[in-house]
Chains A and B, each alone.
Chain A
Amino acid sequence: MRTLRDLPAAAIVGSIADAAERWTDADYPARVRATRAVMERTGYSEPVVDFALDRLFQDLTRAHLMQTIAGELGSIDALDGFVPRPDRSEVFFRGLDAVTIVSSDTTIGVAIAPLAFALAAKCAVVVKDRDDSLVAAFGETLAEERPDFSASLAVERWKAHDDPHALARFAQSDIVVAFGNDRALRAIRETLPPQARFMTFGHRTSAGYVSREALANEASARALAAAAARDALLYDGEGCLSVHALFVESGASVSPEAFARLLSAALAEAAREFPSSREAGPAALAYERRARFAAAQGDGTVYGMPEGHLVTIDPHGGPPPLLPRTLALYPIAEPAEALAVLRRHDLPLEAFALPGDARADLVTLAVRSGAARIAPPGTLQAPTIRSEHGGVPRILPFVRAIVRER
């Protein structure tokens, strides 16, 4: 049987894109089954799972894959053999032999993007799948598109990271890619052989900044609130791209309090499209009660309902609640105050919401915040494979650069 190494990378990319295109159809039987399985595993509503799968597969186009690979490697041909480079040695980005990807228990399809790039690099890939078997189902579509994938892709399930099968897989891997919380990642790291590379995507959160310019009039403030609501509410606010902290500049025509009201209304509106999939837990209830009692003392303000969303205005720069559908607004005078809050709580940020035309000092703030992605409000939950993920390139981790000097 041929392996992916026998094929041109462009052909592999084409097959991946063709498989993904079939998954963009909400009526594709494999997707219908997977949607149900993901809903059952996560408890998310159908619109949320559909959003996640649409976003994932609509992005895996031939053009996006080719652009990303060419952007990182200079040319897709560098995956097939040596290619010349201006003023540098020829290079061949040869795919690693063995890649293991460990999906997280709590997310939807996070393994699929790295899987696509590892396959494009012609690696043999093992994916630890979840109960919904989403990766396995996509793997079957890949094999239907091109049977050669069967020899290079194994989708498995194992219970613990230290069971003998998992340990054997890790021992054979040139790189292990893992998603999960710190505890899970630490457990995997402890089982890895010393030579294995370990690429982790841990749990993080996201923040945003609402500038005076955006609050110059109610229309722009309302639009921004709608965008921020979408960022905060999707996945019930439980994603690393979910905004939990919004810094709002004072002194504009629309005050932070007025913006909080607009945001609360926008959250209620967004909840019609993406209804909550489960009741608020005791932690959210306790937070809400504490915030309301504090508000009664003149210490902050609370908007929303316990059964829905919650927006609090925190005048003291306390830690953001990090709870589902809960968002803290911090009224500030200048970006330095936002940075102080972020640093005080040592918040590991994945993304920072900032309009494309934001002031230079806000871009500086976003960079200094530690976020790996700066994106306009409303787009946080729609990252693209054309960008790096978590500060890491997409295909470079799966290749080894071999240079040829003449």
Chain B
Amino acid sequence: MSQGRVREDALIALAQAWARNEPVVADDKWFDSEALALFAEQIATNAPYARFAATHGYDAARLPLSWRDIPAAPSSAFKNAVLATFDPVATELEFHTSGTTHEHAGRHFVQRATLYDASLLASFDRFMLADRPKLRFLNLVPNPRFKKHSSLGYMMGHVSVLRGDGKTEYFLDDDRVDAEGFARALQAACDEAQPVLIAGTAFAFVALLEALGARRFAAPSGSRMMETGGFKGRVKAVERGELYARLSAAFGIAPASIVAEYGMTELLSQFYDSPESRSTELRVKVGPPWLRTLVVAAGGREVARGETGYLRHVDLANRSSALAIDTEDRGFALDDGFVLIGRDADAPPRGCSLDAEDLAALSVAN
């Protein structure tokens, strides 16, 4: 068995132990060592990432001294190259980014589903199901049966099967929310006193609330919600606080039981609101021990704690692609995690120059 496979199996075992709240050794030294070893493996087998790393001065003969120095591929790299350490023909999973309004989707090939399964389940168990309830999953996310390249759909499908009560339902078809179906399902759960987990994107929740209008539900005790995704490239955005207040009023679920998950197709691990911050205004994102985040300036320099910058994630679960990913998401670091500000809108345009959005609109019109 290769060294890489040994490390991968060890990470799976660590994830499973961590999920069970067992003590694990995952300190700074461990992370540094694992990250640097994985980086060395990746530049040996992932040619586009190796070429990118070379422009930062790193190759097999000259490796970074710390995980903090590992060159981060931009998330858009998944759109422009096959970032894989293996032949994608042999991929077990293939996820596509949703793409923004004007860009085509990227592809993330995952060599072994087992690692992704272990990673996502461990964090979900720790951050969403710490009290080990049996919940009914009402999902406003892509149905993995029909959207097999949606990483969010896959994740919710996986946890629903393993942690649900067997009556999971999906209420999102492309961008269309089946509000009536959802209302029937939620009412049935209420009638059965069956706690639910309602998972969905912020965009889907807004659409759901609009469709439900003034209807109100009293979700059984123990119910909770998982919000993810934000409003990238969508027309309508509302403030998160306002959204949670409206969700809470509509479904009878306390705002502290509405948890924001922060993940992306390019990462195989996820962040969640820390349990301690869920009753506070400032929600702090935390992740599993194999996922770390740096806050960097536009030029890549790490900024001081508390200073706002762009988020760079280093995910040991990204074994078969690239472990370090630069995002355009903004946030700032705290002692116990980071606060996600989200993706800034560009400043309002000035002058009379055509911008990319104008150009796209012209192309559509023509």
In the assembled complex, B343 has its CB within 8 A of some CB on chain A: yes
Q: A348 near B353 (CB under 8 angstroms)?
A: no
Q: A107 near B298 (CB under 8 angstroms)?
A: no
Contacts of B160-200 to chain A: CB distance below 8 A: none
- Segment of A3-11, A61-69, A209-217, A275-283 in the binding face: A275-283
Closest chain A residue, CB of each to CB of B298 = A306
- With A182-B358, A289-B326, A307-B299 as contacts: A297 and B48 at CB distance below 8 Å: yes
Q: Which residues of the partner chain A approach B55 to less than 8 Å between Cβ atoms?
A: 292, 295-296
In the assembled complex, A298 has its CB within 8 A of some CB on chain B: yes
- With A182-B361, A182-B362, A293-B74 as contacts: A239 and B352 at CB distance below 8 Å: yes
Q: B354 near A204 (CB under 8 angstroms)?
A: yes
Q: Which residues of the partner chain A approach B51 to less than 8 Å between Cβ atoms?
A: 296-298
Q: A181 near B80 (CB under 8 angstroms)?
A: no
- With A182-B361, A298-B51 as contacts: A323 and B351 at CB distance below 8 Å: no
In the assembled complex, B154 has its CB within 8 A of some CB on chain A: no
Bound state CA distance, A296 and B77, in angstroms? Answer: 11
- With A281-B346, A290-B80, A293-B76 as contacts: A321 and B352 at CB distance below 8 Å: no
Give, as a whole number of angstroms, the nearest-CB distance from B73 to chain A. 6
Q: B353 near A203 (CB under 8 angstroms)?
A: yes
Q: B358 near A181 (CB under 8 angstroms)?
A: yes
Contacts of A227-256 to chain B: CB distance below 8 A: 235-240, 242, 244
Bound state CA distance, A294 and B74, in angstroms? Answer: 10
In the assembled complex, B304 has its CB within 8 A of some CB on chain A: no
Q: A203 near B355 (CB under 8 angstroms)?
A: yes
In the assembled complex, B13 has its CB within 8 A of some CB on chain A: no
Q: A44 near B350 (CB under 8 angstroms)?
A: yes
Closest chain B residue, CB of each to CB of A295 = B55
In the assembled complex, B359 has its CB within 8 A of some CB on chain A: yes
Give, as a whole number of angstroms, the nearest-CB distance from A281 to chain B. 4
Q: How many residues of A contact B (CB 8 A)?
A: 55
Q: A290 near B76 (CB under 8 angstroms)?
A: yes
Q: Which residues of the partner chain A approach B54 to less than 8 Å between Cβ atoms?
A: 296
Q: Which residues of the partner chain B approach A280 to less than 8 Å between Cβ atoms?
A: 298
Q: A278 near B347 (CB under 8 angstroms)?
A: yes
Bound state CA distance, A182 and B51, in angstroms? Answer: 42
* Residue with the highest number of chain B CB atoms closer than 10 Å, among A293, A305, A319, A345: A293
Give, as a whole number of angstroms, the nearest-CB distance from B78 to chain A. 10
In the assembled complex, B6 has its CB within 8 A of some CB on chain A: no
Bound state CA distance, A39 and B189, in angstroms? Answer: 58
Q: Range of interface residues on chain B?
A: 35 or more
Q: B298 near A238 (CB under 8 angstroms)?
A: no
Q: A293 near B351 (CB under 8 angstroms)?
A: no
Q: B366 near A322 (CB under 8 angstroms)?
A: no
In the assembled complex, A391 has its CB within 8 A of some CB on chain B: no
Give, as a whole number of angstroms, the nearest-CB distance from A296 to chain B. 4
Give, as a whole number of angstroms, the nearest-CB distance from A6 to chain B. 36
Q: A350-365, CB under 8 A of B: which get 1 and which 0?
A: 1000000000000000
Q: Which residues of the partner chain B approach A294 to less than 8 Å between Cβ atoms?
A: 80
Q: Which residues of the partner chain A approach B326 to less than 8 Å between Cβ atoms?
A: 289
Q: Which residues of the partner chain A approach B52 to less than 8 Å between Cβ atoms?
A: 293, 296-297
In the assembled complex, B280 has its CB within 8 A of some CB on chain A: no
Q: A321 near B344 (CB under 8 angstroms)?
A: no
In the assembled complex, B349 has its CB within 8 A of some CB on chain A: yes
In the assembled complex, A106 has its CB within 8 A of some CB on chain B: yes
Q: Which residues of the partner chain B approach A44 to less than 8 Å between Cβ atoms?
A: 350
In the assembled complex, B328 has its CB within 8 A of some CB on chain A: yes
Give, as a whole number of angstroms, the nearest-CB distance from A369 to chain B. 14
Q: Which residues of the partner chain A approach B359 to less than 8 Å between Cβ atoms?
A: 319, 322, 345-347
Bound state CA distance, A393 and B356, in angstroms? Answer: 29
Q: B366 near A205 (CB under 8 angstroms)?
A: no
In the assembled complex, A286 has its CB within 8 A of some CB on chain B: yes
Q: B347 near A240 (CB under 8 angstroms)?
A: no
Contacts of A182-236 to chain B: CB distance below 8 A: 182-183, 201-205, 235-236
- With A285-B310, A290-B74 as contacts: A322 and B344 at CB distance below 8 Å: no
In the assembled complex, B238 has its CB within 8 A of some CB on chain A: no
Bound state CA distance, A239 and B52, in angstroms? Answer: 34
* Residue with the highest number of chain B CB atoms closer than 10 Å, among A182, A235, A297, A319: A297
Q: Which residues of the partner chain B approach A330 to less than 8 Å between Cβ atoms?
A: none
In the assembled complex, A264 has its CB within 8 A of some CB on chain B: no
In the assembled complex, B3 has its CB within 8 A of some CB on chain A: no
In the assembled complex, B81 has its CB within 8 A of some CB on chain A: yes
In the assembled complex, B363 has its CB within 8 A of some CB on chain A: yes
Q: A282 near B350 (CB under 8 angstroms)?
A: no
Q: Which residues of the partner chain A approach B74 to less than 8 Å between Cβ atoms?
A: 286, 289-290, 292-293
Q: Which residues of the partner chain A approach B354 to less than 8 Å between Cβ atoms?
A: 203-205, 240, 322, 347-348
Bound state CA distance, A297 and B310, in angstroms? Answer: 24
Q: B64-94, CB under 8 A of A: which get 1 and which 0?
A: 0000000001101101110000000000000
Q: A238 near B351 (CB under 8 angstroms)?
A: yes
Give, as a whole number of angstroms, the nearest-CB distance from B342 to chain A. 10
Give, as a whole number of angstroms, the nearest-CB distance from A122 to chain B. 28
Bound state CA distance, A254 and B79, in angstroms? Answer: 34
Q: A346 near B366 (CB under 8 angstroms)?
A: yes
Q: B310 near A239 (CB under 8 angstroms)?
A: no
Give, as a whole number of angstroms, the nearest-CB distance from A240 to chain B. 4
Give, as a whole number of angstroms, the nearest-CB distance from A182 to chain B. 6
In the assembled complex, A42 has its CB within 8 A of some CB on chain B: yes
Bound state CA distance, A75 and B363, in angstroms? Answer: 43
Q: B352 near A110 (CB under 8 angstroms)?
A: yes
In the assembled complex, A170 has its CB within 8 A of some CB on chain B: no
Bound state CA distance, A296 and B139, in angstroms? Answer: 40
Q: A204 near B353 (CB under 8 angstroms)?
A: yes
Q: A293 near B73 (CB under 8 angstroms)?
A: yes
Bound state CA distance, A350 and B328, in angstroms? Answer: 32
Bound state CA distance, A309 and B298, in angstroms? Answer: 13
Q: A205 near B353 (CB under 8 angstroms)?
A: yes
Q: B346 near A283 (CB under 8 angstroms)?
A: yes
- With A237-B353, A297-B81, A321-B356 as contacts: A348 and B76 at CB distance below 8 Å: no
With A203-B354, A293-B73 already in contact, 8 other A-B pairs whose C-beta atoms are closer than 8 Å:
A107-B351, A205-B353, A238-B353, A297-B80, A307-B299, A322-B356, A322-B358, A346-B362
Question: 10 A-B pairs, CB-CB below 8 angstroms?
Answer: A278-B347, A283-B346, A285-B298, A285-B328, A293-B76, A298-B51, A319-B359, A321-B356, A347-B354, A348-B362
- In the complex, the 9 A-B pairs of residues with the closest C-beta atoms, listed nearest first: A238-B351, A289-B74, A281-B346, A240-B352, A296-B52, A239-B351, A282-B328, A306-B298, A205-B354
